């Protein structure tokens, strides 16, 4: 294994010259680098900076990124199936049509990124932040969403039917047309989320969700399970009516 530490590389040709199957880059500066169209069997990057770097059309069969900064980087049409990416920042990155299906994308920050058409099918997104990201055209089927932060994000038309959602933050998210039928919420936040008559919570177990300001009264709630306090909140948010319970909770 060859380990390169504290290098500064901005040219794709130079990167090609030192790439091999056992190369690890650690603590390197790739800010503003142009690596467009790079193809690599293995690419391991740890504790590096790639601010504003161009990684568009990168093709990598074994991509491993750890504790690195890719803020404002371009990763359009990058293909890295089953990648392992942990603790990285992609804030305000351009990630149009990026393919990261079946990848591990844990404890990362994608806030403000452009992820139009991104393929995150089957990805592990646990603990990652997608604040303000439009994911309405992204593929999220089968993704692990535990502890993910989708506050202020758009998840329009996505289906979470039958999913167990643990610690997911949907605060002020756009949930127009989403299907949460038969879903179970545990420690989730729906506070202030945009919900319409096309949003479905049929037979969902909402007892583990914070729902203040979500206007759930607009949604389809056929057979949903809720706590009395949640029903009271829903009625107040929808109609301004306060329902007082008697001592027996009736």
Q: Does the structure show a pLDDT above 60 at 247?
A: no
In this structure, are strands 184-189 and 59-66 parallel, antiparallel, or unpaired?
unpaired
Q: pTM (2 decimals)?
A: 0.91
Per residue in 190-239, pLDDT tens? 999 999 999 999 999 999 999 988 788 899 999 999 998 888 887 766 65
**Predicted local distance difference test score (pLDDT) of residue 250:** 47
Which ranges of the chain does DSSP label H, i.e. alpha helix? 12-18, 228-239
Give the CATH number of domain 1-147.
2.160.20.80
DSSP, collapsed to helix, strand or coil, labels residue 216 as: helix
- Least confident interval from 2-11, 46-55, 63-72, 184-193: 2-11
DSSP, collapsed to helix, strand or coil, labels residue 183 as: coil
Q: How far is 179 from 163, CA to CA, in rounded Å?
A: 10
For residues 133-144, average pLDDT: 97
Q: Which residue, chain included where needed, has tokens 């089953």?
A: 82
CA 238 and chain centroid, separation: 30
Per residue in 98-121, pLDDT tens? 999 999 999 999 999 999 999 999
Q: Is 202 left (phi over 0), alpha (psi -120 to 50) or beta?
A: beta
**Predicted local distance difference test score (pLDDT) of residue 243:** 61
For the chain, what are the domain ranges? 1-147, 155-250
CA 204 and chain centroid, separation: 22
Per residue in 118-129, pLDDT tens? 999 999 999 999
Q: What is the DSSP string of 153-179?
A: -B-TT-B-TT-EEES-B-TT-B-TT-B
CATH superfamily, with its number, for domain 155-250: E3 ubiquitin-protein ligase SopA (2.160.20.80)
Whole-number average pLDDT of the chain:
93
**Predicted local distance difference test score (pLDDT) of residue 244:** 63
- Least confident interval from 28-32, 35-39, 87-91, 242-246: 242-246
Q: Are 105 and 85 in contact (CB under 8 A)?
A: yes
Q: Does the structure show a pLDDT above 60 at 184?
A: yes
């Amino acid at each position: 294994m060859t380990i390169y530490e504290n290098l500064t590389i901005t040219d794709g040709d130079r990167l090609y010259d030192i790439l091999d199957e056992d190369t690890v880059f650690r603590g390197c500066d790739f800010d503003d680098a142009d690596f467009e169209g790079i193809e690599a069997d293995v690419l391991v990057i740890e504790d590096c900076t790639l601010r504003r770097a161009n990684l568009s059309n990168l093709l990598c069969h074994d991509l491993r990124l750890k504790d690195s900064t890719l803020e404002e980087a371009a990763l359009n049409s990058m293909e890295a199936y089953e990648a392992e990416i942990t603790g990285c920042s992609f804030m305000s990155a351009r990630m149009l049509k990026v393919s990261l299906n079946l990848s591990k994308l844990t404890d990362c920050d994608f806030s403000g990124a452009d992820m139009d058409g991104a393929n995150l099918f089957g990805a592990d997104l646990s603990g990652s932040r997608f604040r303000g990201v439009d994911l309405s055209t992204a593929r999220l089927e089968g993704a692990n969403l535990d502890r993910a932060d989708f506050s202020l994000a758009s998840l329009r038309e996505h289906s979470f039917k039958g999913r167990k959602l643990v610690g997911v933050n949907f605060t002020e998210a756009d949930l127009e047309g989403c299907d949460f039928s038969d879903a179970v919420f545990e420690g989730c936040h729906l506070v202030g989320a945009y919900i319409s008559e096309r949003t479905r919570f049929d037979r969902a177990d909402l007892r583990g969700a914070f729902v203040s300001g979500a206007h759930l009264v607009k949604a389809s709630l056929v057979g949903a399970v809720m706590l009395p306090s949640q029903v009271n909140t829903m009625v107040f948010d929808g109609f301004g009516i306060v329902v007082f319970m008697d001592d027996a909770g009736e």
